[in-house]
Amino acid sequence: MDLNKKNIIKTLEKITFSGEADNIVSSGVLQNVQVFGDQVDIGLLVSNPALQARKRLEVDIMKIIHSDIYEKAKIKITCEVQKKVKNPDSDNSDNSESSDVNISSEAKKILGVDSIIAISSAKGGVGKSTLTVNLAASLAKKGCKVGILDADIYGPSVPTMMDVEGYVPKAVKINDVSKIEPAESYGVKIMSIGFFTKLDQAVVWRGPMASKALNQMIFDTNWGDLDFLFLDLPPGTGDIHLSLVQALPINGAIIVSTPQNVALADARRGIKMFQQDSISVPILGLIENMAYFQAEESDEKNYIFGEAGVKYLSKDLNIEFLGEVPIYKSLREASDFGRPASLQESTDVSKVFDNISKSVVEQLLKRNKDLPPTKVVEITNLVGCSAIKK
Ligand code: ADP
């Protein structure tokens, strides 16, 4: 058997931990598996604090991986004892938005998902969702396993852009655990807050309600194995996405802005939010959207929203510039039609997204290499994903 994440998870389903009725995978004891060559990092979260029980579990895990998969595997196990878990039914809640999301003080990891990338813009309407779906589709085209969580509670547009409007999420049983089946389109798995509301229904998601719904969508969706999970965050720097980014081990954030001054001021605010101590999500880079408009058969570029503002901002803040997307009528049309323009064959638009997705993966790999191993989920097993082949 090959030493990879899938085989390890399957093998560890044979082990139970004292005090848990289910095996360590379905009971959530197994939180994280990373494979780097012959090195395996395993993260456990247990409720039984007895040292003996933990040691026994670690030995069982090592033994079964050595006997069933690869006898020379170098296994490192980190075992965390679950701290006090908030009772969701208790009425001593302070009603703050974050209290619903921070189930444990540690960021939870989503089993099977390698890298979580948040796409953010402090200002609405700058093209955050457009870039999310096109980057996701561009990476799926290259063989990567990609998912999108559309967390834009103010206007979930991913279902329209990916042609899955009206999808009704169904419950499925995975290893006896109830999960929600995501929609799938163009090879991308999609879960959207829009699936739970009717398009013409004016739903005002209240903060705690939205946080709770998003938390469930993240952890209860049957994502399967993903190389990348993109989070299309709501615009702004509100409490909802503060709590969201604190609850998740986000590998990096991408900030989208147009080059105009008002958008840039907001972008600075958004960057500060990710960089503040309590959040500390690395910024993978900035993307300038609606960089200019060039009419067909014309050489002249019209810098409708100002020239190169995001490029200057990235220099000023010493943050990577991931690329620029001009204003394309075909990009808007493709979004409205429900087929991301990045899926087109060798058009100007698709080339732009091919380049930006390549930069995103490069920055992600660089970032994962520089980070201490325990901090975030790292990329592993991207065998079929040509985007990262050197
Ligand atoms: P946000 O998610 O930031 O609110 P959207 O992605 O929904 O913004 O984009 C707003 C509108 O602008 C959409 O109609 C979209 O099709 C269009 N749009 C975004 N970027 C571009 C672009 N580069 N060229 C043309 N239209 C664009």
Check whether 89 has a pLDDT greater than 50: no
Q: Give the distance (Å) from ligand 1 centre to CA of residue 226.
A: 26
pLDDT at 83: 55
- Which two structure tokens, joined as six digits, stand for 254? 């991408």
Mean pLDDT, rounded, of the chain: 82
Q: Give the distance (Å) from ligand 1 centre to CA of residue 327.
A: 9
Residues 181 and 167: their CA atoms lie apart, in Å, by 10
Of 356, 146, 111, the residue nearest 232 (C-alpha): 146
pLDDT band of 214, cuts 50, 70, 90: confident
Compute CA distances 33 → 36, 76, 380, whole Å.
Answer: 10, 10, 9
Q: Give the distance (Å) from ligand 1 centre to CA of residue 276.
A: 28
Mean pLDDT of 47-72: 88
CATH topology of domain 5-86+96-105: GMP Synthetase; Chain A, domain 3 (3.30.300)
| CB-based pocket (< 6 A), ligand 1 | 121, 124-130, 157, 289-290, 325, 327-328, 331-332, 335
Chain region(s) in the chain for CATH 3.30.300.130: 5-86+96-105
Q: Give the distance (Å) from ligand 1 centre to CA of residue 126.
A: 6
Residues 102 and 100: their CA atoms lie apart, in Å, by 6
User: For 301-321, how does the pLDDT look when each residue is reduced to its tens digit (9 = 90+)?
Assistant: 999 998 888 999 999 999 999
pLDDT at 150: 93
Of 108, 155, 99, 105, the residue nearest 129 (C-alpha): 155
Q: Give the distance (Å) from ligand 1 centre to CA of residue 129.
A: 7
Does domain 113-389 fall into CATH 3.40.50.300? Answer: yes
> Which residues have a Cβ under 8 Å from the Cβ of 341 and sit 6 or more positions away?
134, 328, 330, 331, 334, 335, 347, 349, 350, 353
Closest-CA residue, ligand 1 atom 27, reads 332
Residues 58 and 227: their CA atoms lie apart, in Å, by 27
Chain region(s) in the chain for CATH 3.40.50.300: 113-389
pLDDT at 211: 77
Mean pLDDT of 124-143: 94
pLDDT at 230: 96
- Give the mutation target among 130, 132, 327 for probing the ligand 1 site: most ligand atoms within 8 A of CB: 130
Of 275, 248, 258, the residue nearest 376 (C-alpha): 248
* Ligand 1 atom nearest to CA at 131: 6
pLDDT band of 185, cuts 50, 70, 90: very high
Note the residue count of the chain.
390
User: For 91-132, how does the pLDDT look when each residue is reduced to its tens digit (9 = 90+)?
Assistant: 333 333 332 222 233 456 677 788 889 999 988 889 999 999
Residues 111 and 12: their CA atoms lie apart, in Å, by 13
- Which two structure tokens, joined as six digits, stand for 80? 């965390």
- Give the mutation target among 160, 294, 324, 332 for probing the ligand 1 site: most ligand atoms within 8 A of CB: 332
Mean pLDDT of 277-298: 88
Residues 166 and 148: their CA atoms lie apart, in Å, by 16
pLDDT band of 277, cuts 50, 70, 90: confident
Q: Where are the alpha helices (DSSP H) in the chain?
A: 5-12, 51-68, 97-101, 128-141, 158-161, 207-220, 239-247, 261-275, 309-317, 329-337, 348-370
Q: Give the distance (Å) from ligand 1 centre to CA of residue 190.
A: 19
Contact 219, 251 (CB under 8 A): no
Mean pLDDT of 156-184: 92
- Which two structure tokens, joined as six digits, stand for 327? 């204003």
Radius of gyration, alpha carbons of the chain: 21
